[in-house]
Structure 1
Amino acid sequence: MTTADSVNSKELETLSNTPQARSEKDLRNGTPIDNGIDEQDGMVVLSDDKFEKELPADPEKQQGPPAVTFPEGGAQAWLAVLGSAILLFCSFGYVNAFGVYESYYLSVLLTNKTADDIAWIGSIQIAFIFGSGLFAGSIFDRYGAQVIVIPASIFLVVSVMITSICKEYYQFLLCQGILGGICQGALFTPALGVVGQYFFRKRGAAMGLVVAGSSLGGVILPIMIANLIKKTTFGWTVRAIGFLFLALLWIPCITVKERLPHRAGTFFLPKAFKDPVYVLFVAGNFFALWGMFTPFFFIPSFALKLGMSSTMSVYLVSILNALSFPGRVLPGIVADKFGKMNCLVVAPIVTGILIWCWLAVDSAAGLIVLTAFFGFWSGSLISMFPAVMAQIVPNPREIGTYIGMAMGISGFAGLTGSPIAGALLTKYGYTAAISFSGSCMMVGIILLAAARFIYNPKLFAIV
């Protein structure tokens, strides 16, 4: 079996530029070692860090750790994609619907609170979704997915049910923000890590399908909440969401299973921060997320300011997430052909331009068009994050930890971004909030572009 049989030339060029591959080349110059190809499956084998650093004297031990293969499909792989998409439907998809809660709390339940006060509920939720990944990623790599997914699914349903009986501001912070965010973060990271173990050549498309689950949640859940809350009470509306999650979450508890041996060693992997590509990528993602959630939270209230009905303002959230669905699937397919890192740079550029265009919107029609385009391109940005992260990780068994550490850092952006925008909105108006969002996105673009060109300095390289 030749190398060409297992990966195409573009993927081989990308793999050869990683720090791990360069170390293997240097090692081969002095000592003959295994070529890193699994003869049975014809897939790329990524060696373990310990194997790179030490070559045992016994020739039988020079084979290194068991081969790491990527089946690129099959029943178990696609069931893992389905289960992971459901996890994102119930975690990030639920957060994508927070704009509906923001408007309802502001106008009905928590009228004594300002926009930035209420934004803290959703921001804490986002912060814990990302921050929980700091621990969930390492637990996934070391002990497997179901150790996290099963208890987190149970407690997420409990969180939603308790939210349905909340009355005070601090109660919503604790139940919806903190408890809900921790559980959603514990579901989010394994969903991304598992899929990275099944796919290599099709990883962009597979990750796009998984992340599209959050878009689907962002479409269905706001409409469901908006319609039910007119026909029944707030409590029973939220309980209906809880029952929906209860009906869905048993599927990933069965289907989301890791396929690689568990990683041993330290809980975290500080060696990752010695890689400038990883550091710049994480920093760029931080700034992009710092500015990206402002439209998700404040487009509904901006719509009310333009004179749109409360019903239509809620449907804007669904329009945003509906267009985010193809925005998360199609770019993943394109990225597999033209390069995931290339697409990750393009997506925030267009997203940033759209945020600045928000300043010029002064009509309902203009806001609808802006919302649709923003939904598509922000979806692209979100779907490319895990795909690129899996690409730059030197060992597939460490994907969960690498993603988790990046998410833990990004949690601060999720925690503070929308409240800062909300405070600027309260004091100075929408122009200040939008400018903050657009400026953060611009810094993120610069950092992501720097990471891409350090990874491969060729302008037209497919990486």
Structure 2
Amino acid sequence: MALAEEKAESQVGIPQPVYDIPDGGLQAWGAILGGWLISFCTFGYASSFGIYQDYYVLAGASTSSNISWIGSLQLFFLFFLGLPAGRLFDAGYFRALTLGGSVLYLFCLFMLSLADPTKYYQIILAQGIGMGIGGGLMLVPALSLQGHYWKRRRGMALGLVLTGSGCGGIIYPIMLNHLFNGSTGFHWGVRASAFLTLGLLVLAQFVMRTRLPSAKDRPPQPKPNILAIFTDPPFAFSLFGGFMVVWGLFMPYFYLQLWVNLHGLSSTLAFYTIAILNAASIFGRIIPNMLADRFGQFNVVVPVSAITGALVFVMFASTTTGAVIVFTILYGFFSGSYIALVPSTLAIMAKDTNEIGVRIGLGYFATSFAMLTGTPIDGALLGHGLILNWSKPIVFSGVVIIAGAGFLAVGRHLFVRVKGTQWT
């Protein structure tokens, strides 16, 4: 007992190193580029699942609800692993996470190219579980790395990184649509996207460098108190609000192409809807984040999430070509804004840089369950067969997003009281 107390006292007395945040420089921009590439290949690919949803439904793999579980599982693991990946990142295992995640992700993507698209178990193992886990090991470390290089312009940096998912959501859907519906077919179409992903992830490994020493070379570090973070009132309300928003956020990403096809609109329009949605999200991931650096993350994320929820109801009127295009652009912009604002909103509640990874990871971990269940609920509400009930998933998604915006507003109010400033 005496030895334990002496050891604890000695560790308390060890001065903890203070690491400066450069807010620029070649390595800082390399971190943004590497994070952008990882975001492109992981979140960008996952947000393109609407192409696979449409293909698998028409191929007869299963019902629309069952198939949506594949994309939901991929998104779930992408964010569920945020907590362990964030803690390992904070402990100094950045390179092991990104390299191991890249290998697993690429292996499963090539396995998907060998799968039979009518065999449900094959595609859910490769695409839903394998690619989700591989991507989850990479995404949060790539986002958390920005906190070691950027402070004053952290929102801008995270927004730029997450534009990668928007760009991936443009390139992959157009590429896959052309290949699936052309002479190439499903197998070589997936394989072509895998070779593109391979090149980009290799490049990402070369341009990213962590600034902090590895775990074994660091002095003893204080361990983040997960329970204290989780029960912190501003963080808890924000976490629950984020869960509600994400619960309904991805319904158009999964079902918009099917909506256009089943409403008798142009097949060319259906072909490009997911790409247009993600293209609009690129601007949404830059402009609001720049505003958030000036006016405060909460002051931007609350109205953005409320507008996103209201826009879901606009789908009821999106039955013409012009209306679909307007809805797609607006929803892409504001939903992309919300996605990009989440990491910086979580990061501002961290007590120091050692908590950034775990805060972002814990937030992503909690919202992963919303990603897992949201779109399958939409699919179940939609039904299957010749007659689909679109009003149920639209109302469900819109209501839960607006409710989430309300909880985020409560989290902002509590955080303002703690910080004693209005610009948060």
Superposition TM-score, scaled by structure 1 size: 0.84
Alignment check: 8 A CA contact 2:244 2:403 kept: yes
Structure 1 unaligned spans of 5+: 1-53
Matched positions, count = 405
Which protein has the larger Cα radius of gyration, Structure 1 or Structure 2? 1
Taking the aligned partners of 1:179 and 1:222, their CA distance within structure 2 comes to: 20
Q: Which residue of structure 1 lines up, in the alignment, with residue 202 of structure 2?
A: 250
Q: Which residue of structure 2 lines up, in the alignment, with residue 127 of structure 1?
A: 76
The Cα of 1:364 is off from its aligned counterpart by 2.2
Taking the aligned partners of 2:265 and 2:239, their CA distance within structure 1 comes to: 38
The Cα of 1:233 is off from its aligned counterpart by 1.7
Change (3 A) 1:460 1:310: farther
How far does the alpha carbon of each residue in 1:254-292 deviate from its partner, in whole angstroms, 9 at most, with x for none? 232322355845587222023111111111111110000
How far does the alpha carbon of each residue in 1:403-428 deviate from its partner, in whole angstroms, 9 at most, with x for none? 11221111110100000000000166
Taking the aligned partners of 1:259 and 1:389, their CA distance within structure 2 comes to: 21
Q: Which residue of structure 1 lines up, in the alignment, with residue 178 of structure 2?
A: 227
Give the aligned residue type for 1:239. R
1:400 aligns with 2:361: no
Q: Which residue of structure 2 lines up, in the alignment, with residue 205 of structure 1?
A: 156
1:454 aligns with 2:414: yes
Superposition TM-score, scaled by structure 2 size: 0.91
Taking the aligned partners of 1:373 and 1:126, their CA distance within structure 2 comes to: 23
Give the aligned residue type for 1:232. T
The Cα of 1:459 is off from its aligned counterpart by 11
Percent of matched pairs sharing the same residue: 37
Alignment check: 8 A CA contact 2:102 2:138 kept: yes
Alignment check: 8 A CA contact 2:77 2:129 kept: yes
Taking the aligned partners of 2:172 and 2:319, their CA distance within structure 1 comes to: 28
Matched ranges for 1:131-210 at <5 A: 131-167=80-116, 168-210=119-161
1:117 aligns with 2:66: yes
Residue 386 (structure 1) aligned to one of 328, 338, 343 = 343
- Comparing 353-362 with 267-276, which one deviates more in the overlay? 267-276
Change (3 A) 1:276 1:226: same
Give the aligned residue type for 2:378. A
Matched ranges for 1:19-418 at <5 A: 64-108=15-59, 111=60, 113-167=62-116, 168-229=119-180, 230-261=182-213, 262=215, 264=221, 266=223, 269-418=226-375
Give the aligned residue type for 1:417. G
- Comparing 177-186 with 255-264, which one deviates more in the overlay? 255-264
Structure 2 unaligned spans of 5+: 1-7
Alignment check: 8 A CA contact 1:328 1:380 kept: yes
The Cα of 1:80 is off from its aligned counterpart by 0.4
Alignment check: 8 A CA contact 2:54 2:258 kept: yes
Taking the aligned partners of 1:267 and 1:236, their CA distance within structure 2 comes to: 46
The Cα of 1:305 is off from its aligned counterpart by 1.7
Alignment check: 8 A CA contact 2:343 2:360 kept: yes
Change (3 A) 1:460 1:302: farther
Change (3 A) 1:100 1:450: same
Taking the aligned partners of 1:208 and 1:117, their CA distance within structure 2 comes to: 33
Q: CA RMSD in A?
A: 2.1
Taking the aligned partners of 1:311 and 1:100, their CA distance within structure 2 comes to: 13
The Cα of 1:367 is off from its aligned counterpart by 1.2
Give the aligned residue type for 1:418. T
How far does the alpha carbon of each residue in 1:294-336 deviate from its partner, in whole angstroms, 9 at most, with x for none? 0100111110122124442130000000000010011111111
Change (3 A) 1:440 1:83: same
- Comparing 419-428 with 345-354, which one deviates more in the overlay? 419-428
Alignment check: 8 A CA contact 1:88 1:214 kept: yes
Taking the aligned partners of 1:368 and 1:344, their CA distance within structure 2 comes to: 24
Taking the aligned partners of 2:420 and 2:400, their CA distance within structure 1 comes to: 25
Taking the aligned partners of 2:231 and 2:67, their CA distance within structure 1 comes to: 39
SS at 1:362's partner residue?
A: coil
SS at 1:462's partner residue?
A: coil
